[in-house]
Each structure stands twice: as structure tokens, then as C-alpha cells.
Amino acid sequence: MAFVWFLLVFSLSLAVIPLKAEIQVNQSRVHLKIHHVHGPESSLIQNVSFSDLLLRDEERVKSLKSILVKNTNRNRGSSSLSSDLSKRSNHWSSAKSLNIPLNSGLSIGSGNYYVKIGIGSPVKYSTMIMDTGSSFSWIQCKPCAVFCHSQTDPVFDPSSSKTYKTLPCYASACSSLKESTLNSPLCSSSNKCIYTASYGDSSYSIGYLSQDLLTLSQSQTFPNFIYGCGQDNEGLFGKSAGLLGLARDKLSMIAQVSSKYGFSFSYCLPTATSSSGGFLKIGKNPSVMTSSFKFTPMVKDPRESSSLYSLKLAAITVAGLPLRVSAAEYKVPTIIDSGTVITRLPLSLYSALQSAFVKIMSKKYAEAPAFSILDTCFKGNVKSMTSGVPEIAMVFPGGAALRLSASNMLIQAGDGVTCLAFAASSEITVIGNHQQQTFEVAYDVANSRIGFAANACR
């Protein structure tokens, strides 16, 4: 049976949600209520194979690894892909706080989370993948000179926007593309700057570096937003219109609005059964000063890209007991990522976690065969596993921790089969979005720290 996953949809469309009921405005913030994708107001539901989602998740992790090691062509794809993309490009090219709603589901065919932002004058709203692992934002644009994948919203037409313009090759933003996308910019015969955003699963977008009005709510607009207007967009983007980059690079959306809001944001990723949904808050948030938040420093490893959000994992406990591994086993790059679903651990840590978890779980639940990359599985459904499930905690320096409930630890892999939502990797730890669900995760970039608060999607 196809497994319906979850996504986040930022619902600002007046045709769907009455704005007066959904937006609360005061001098310090805009708060937008959110709804689950499987709720009565959702019309985007689509079935996606869970096996396919796990395969895509593996490609996502490969992409992150390629960023960390900064391979010789500084490209998320292979050298052959880089060459092919260049050929394709040449062929066709001759302070306040803002809250944005998020909903859960896989309704547009991807395992990531989504927001809906507005581009242009007059504004046109589009559903975008929200990605803390990417620095560059892009959207599919008419005339789709080479190819546009199918998307839920109408494809953006830049000719209909009074504020749209392409940027020339001599623009400083064009020179910044190499750092943001890990691909060198190209230049068209008419002196238009061309970007290439490529990813580890061989997905990519190629188009014109552009500038236009960004709208996050009716009262929150930002002129001169820099993004990519994609003319050749192929790969595993589901039915989204594009990608919204939230990483630390200066071309990310968060960096571009930081002059107004400061360089900080937070989100809460809801579960598929959440009645209240989730949110994306941009700007300084008074709630992060409360005792419910615990912070840990962001770290910068010489091997890591400056754009990824990294931290140190100090320990993992199962039922309150630390794993039987040496402290040295934790000394690998650790990143937190909104686009990875399943948390990855180095083999030594994963094996110790698996052993400790199975020892307790097997007292009540029968073990089941592996499912794709998930090899710690049990007979039964997540909803029925209400007792006998040991708590897993991921502990960080400074007192911050992710103390995981059963819904954060386990995932339904099929009828009658539930698996631990962790998998083995090599030379990297990635904290996936399944483990982040219902926590408010605060990225205080200005003060170089990351914070967690439990039970925040309310």
C-alpha cells in the first residue's frame, strides 16, 4: 500500500483561507494560523511510496556529504553532471518578527516541508520547498525555455510583474553564486547572469538570476529579493514551484530579510495528525528567551560549508542510559537539516543505539524484517505502541537536548511494521525532520546558537 507522507504547506491563499481569521498582526509580529494538509481545507493530497521517499532521503544525505567534503568541482552533483548542465545552460541561454504557517503531508509529492511565498507585482503565491540545507532560492518561470516539472500552482510569469528584472553578469550577486550554489555562474549573449543549482540526486534548476518583490504576508513585503527564475528544472521536487533557501549564505532568503528582522528564525514541524499545525517564524522571537528553550552553540568545522547549520552531539541516551561508546565516536560533523527525513548516525553510534533499543523493545514487541534503509523494525503500528518504548535523547553541549517521544523515534513503514527512524551512515550525523517534529527549533544565527523547545506546535 502506498504510504502517505507529510509536508508543510504555507496557506495564504484567500481562495482557501479567510485572512482575517488566519492572521493576527501587532507591532512585533504577524502570526498566521496553519492547517494540516489532510484537513478539510486541503486539496493537495497525493499518494507517494514510502520506499521512494527513503531512496530520495538517501540521495539527500549524499548531497549533504558532498557539501561537507567540498569535492574538487565544488558541485552537489558529479563532474559529468556539471558538464552536462553547462551544455544545457549554454544551449538555451544564448525589527520585527514574522510568523508563517506550515502544514504537514506529502501532498505535492516530496518528503520535505513547504511554505507559500509571494513573488512579483501584482503578487503571485507559490508553494516552495523550505530547505535549511540550501542557500539559494529559485522558482519555475515561464516560458520554461527547456523544461518545467508539473506543479500545484500556476507557473510564475515574470513578464506579468512590474517589479521583475534579470541581473547582469557584472552584478555582485552573480559573483556570489559560486559560494551559494557551488556552481560557477554563466553569462548569456545578452549579458544576463545564469545560475545552476544542482543537487546530489541529480535534480537541478538552471535559469536567470533575478530580482523582484518578495511578499510573506499582505503587510510584509521586501523589494529587490534575489532569486533564480528557472527555465530548466528537472528532478525530485514533487509538485512544488521551487525551493526556498534558509541556510546561512548571504543569498539565502533569511539573510536577505535580516536587515529588517535580524538574522534569526525558528520553526515547528507538525506531525501528520497534528490539529494545530506548525509555523515558520522569521526574526527575533521573544519566546526563545523563556525557560522552555535550551541552546547549544553553532559550530564551524574547517571541513564544513559555512552555509550548513552545524552543532556538536555530545551523547545519546536510551531509557536514560548513555550508549556504550567512547566520546571520540561523537566527533564527526553533525548538521541539523529540514530536508532530511530520517536521522543518520555513524555506524558505531547507530549499532550501539540499535542494540540498546532492541534490548528493551523486544521484551514487548516482536522484531520484523528490515524495510529499505531501516533495519530496526518491529511488528505493530506506531499508534498502538503506547508503552514499552524507551525514550531516546540526543544531548548537546550547554544543556540542550531532543528528548524524543515514540512518534519522533518510530515511523510506520508499512501495514503492521514500525521501524526506528534512524539509519547508519558514514562520517556524518544528520538530525532529520522526523526527530524535529513538534519541537520549536530556533536558529539564532546572529548569536551563533541553536535552541530547542518541546511541544511547540500549538
CATH number at residue 194: 2.40.70.10
Percent of the chain exceeding pLDDT 70 equals 76
Q: How confident is the model at residue 227 (pLDDT cuts 50, 70, 90)?
A: very high
Task: Indicate the pLDDT class of residue 49, thresholds 50, 70 and 90.
Answer: confident
Examine the domain organization and report whether 254 and 300 are in the same domain.
no
**198 within a domain of the structure (yes/no):** yes
C-alpha 353/C-alpha 109 separation (Å) is 31
Last residue of a domain, one of 261, 278, 309: 261
pLDDT at position 287: 63
CB atoms within 10 A of CB 85: 22
One domain for residues 256 and 290: no
304/282 Cα distance (integer angstroms) = 25
Residue 179 has pLDDT above 70, yes or no: yes
Beta-strand ranges (E) seen in 364-457 are 367-368, 377-379, 392-395, 401-404, 410-414, 417-420, 422-425, 429-431, 440-444, 449-453
pTM (predicted TM-score):
0.85
pLDDT winner (highest mean) among 10-14, 21-25, 32-36, 450-454 = 450-454
Looking at the fold, whether 312 and 431 belong to one and the same domain comes out as yes
The pLDDT assigned to 273 comes to 67
pLDDT in tens, 238-295: 788 999 999 999 999 989 988 888 888 888 887 766 666 678 888 876 666 666 889 9
Query: Range with the lowest mean pLDDT among 1-5, 106-110, 249-253?
Result: 1-5
Lowest mean pLDDT segment, chosen from 27-31, 100-104, 359-363, 414-418:
27-31
Would you state the cell numbers that stand for residue 128, as one nine-digit string?
A: 516552495
pLDDT of residue 369: 95
Average pLDDT score, the chain: 80
pLDDT reported for residue 183: 92
| Range from 42-46, 179-183, 285-289 carrying the lowest mean pLDDT | 42-46
In the chain, the number of structural domains is 2
pLDDT at 85 over 80: no
d(CA 197, CA 77): 10
Q: How far, in whole angstroms, is CA 147 from its chain's centroid?
A: 24
Please, which pLDDT band fits residue 65 given cuts at 50, 70 and 90? confident
Span 2-13, average pLDDT: 31
Which one from 57, 131, 201, 232 is the annotated catalytic residue? Answer: 131
| Residue 196 and residue 304 in one domain | no
Mean pLDDT lowest for which of 40-44, 228-232, 370-374?
Answer: 40-44
414 falls within a domain? yes
Mean pLDDT of 404-431: 93
Judge if 307 and 238 occupy the same domain: no
The pLDDT tens digits for 306-354 are 689 999 999 999 999 999 999 999 999 999 998 888 999 999 999 999 9
- Residue range 409-431: average pLDDT? 93
Has residue 177 been placed in a domain?
Answer: yes
For position 97, what pLDDT does the model report? 61
Beta-carbon contacts of 394 under 8 Å, excluding residues fewer than 6 positions away, are 313, 316, 401, 402, 404, 431, 435
Residue 96 C-alpha from the chain's centroid: 23
pLDDT of residue 86: 54
Could you tell me if 308 and 388 lie in one domain?
Answer: yes
359 and 447 fall within a common domain: yes
- Half-sphere exposure of residue 39, counting CA atoms within 13 Å on the CB side? 22
Residues 307 and 393 in one domain: yes
Q: Are 180 and 229 within one domain?
A: yes
**Domain contains 27:** no
The answer, yes or no, to whether residue 19 has pLDDT greater than 90, is no
> What's the pLDDT band for 408 if we cut at 50, 70, 90?
very high
**Confidence at residue 229, expressed as pLDDT on a 0 to 100 scale:** 98
For residue 168, pLDDT over 90 is answered with yes
pLDDT above 60 (res 12): no
Where among 224, 246, 261 does a domain terminate?
A: 261
Q: Domain end: 206, 227, 261, which one?
A: 261
Among this protein's residues, is 131 annotated catalytic?
yes
Give the pLDDT mean for 441-452. Answer: 93
Give me the mean pLDDT over the 7-34 stretch.
34
Per the structure, the complete domain to which residue 330 belongs is given by 286-453
Q: Which of 119-133, 175-189, 283-297, 371-385 has the lowest mean pLDDT?
A: 283-297
Query: Within 13 Å and on the Cβ side, how many CA atoms surround 197?
Result: 29
Question: For the chain, what's the residue count?
Answer: 458
Residue 374 has pLDDT above 70, yes or no: yes
Mean pLDDT, to the nearest integer, of 208-223? 91
Same domain flag for 442 and 296:
yes
Q: Is residue 79 part of a domain?
A: no
Higher pLDDT, 10 or 64: 64
Q: Is residue 235 part of a domain?
A: yes
384 and 327 within one domain: yes
- pLDDT exceeds cutoff 90 at 127: no
Residue 19 domain flag:
no
Q: Active-site residue among 57, 153, 201, 337?
A: 337
Is 232 assigned a catalytic role?
no
Same domain? 231 vs 358: no
In-domain check, residue 118: yes
Predicted confidence band of residue 301 (pLDDT cuts 50, 70, 90): low
Question: Can you tell me the distance from the alpha carbon of 94 to that of 417, in angstroms, rounded to the nearest whole number?
Answer: 53
